Amino acid sequence: MRGRWAAGVALAGVLATAACSGASAPAKHVSPTSATRWWSNSAVGVGSTLAPGATDAAATRLHPSRTQYCTMLRQTVAAGRSVLTGASGRAATTATTAFVAEVQAVAPTAIAPSWRTLGPALVTVAHGGTLSSSAAVQQAGAAIAADAKSACHLDLAS
């Protein structure tokens, strides 16, 4: 069980890291309080600005896709920043909320239930809460990490 929790925490750190960072966009002026995407999928591109009240707008245009899912996870790891180490503010919360909505929308059917458990926990962290230590969140994090490793060839726990 301890190994699962460690994998879940590592996964949440990797995902919340990038999700809350508001990573840089291509050369265009963006307000310091604006959130931008570091990820892309069939609905949005890297660097697009996120509107605080419409964080799930792109998610409504997405469907489960292993290719998009793995791409979003790879881009997340490449962004490499963390709310768990102090990122905060409106942009961080907006980015996390949008990322979670979009990754849940593209998550393959087999891993979607785990995202429905871990996703809200990541949003809670972005809102200044702490990562839940519940067995369900631990199991969801471990399942997502295992799926990413086997299907996307990406080690989220490292």
Q: Could you tell me the residue ranges of all domains in the chain?
A: 2-16+58-150
Q: List C-alpha distances in Å: 95 to 1, 2, 99, 116.
A: 31, 30, 6, 17
Tokens standing for residue 69: 């899912």
The confidence band for 120, taking pLDDT boundaries of 50, 70 and 90, is: very high
The confidence band for 23, taking pLDDT boundaries of 50, 70 and 90, is: very low
How far is 153 from 68, CA to CA, in rounded Å?
14
First-to-last alpha carbon distance for the chain, in angstroms, is: 18
Q: Which residues pair with 50 in a beta bridge?
A: 35
Angle made by CA atoms 140, 14, 36, in degrees to the nearest 5: 110
pLDDT of 30 above 60: no
pTM, to two decimals: 0.79
pLDDT value for 33? 59
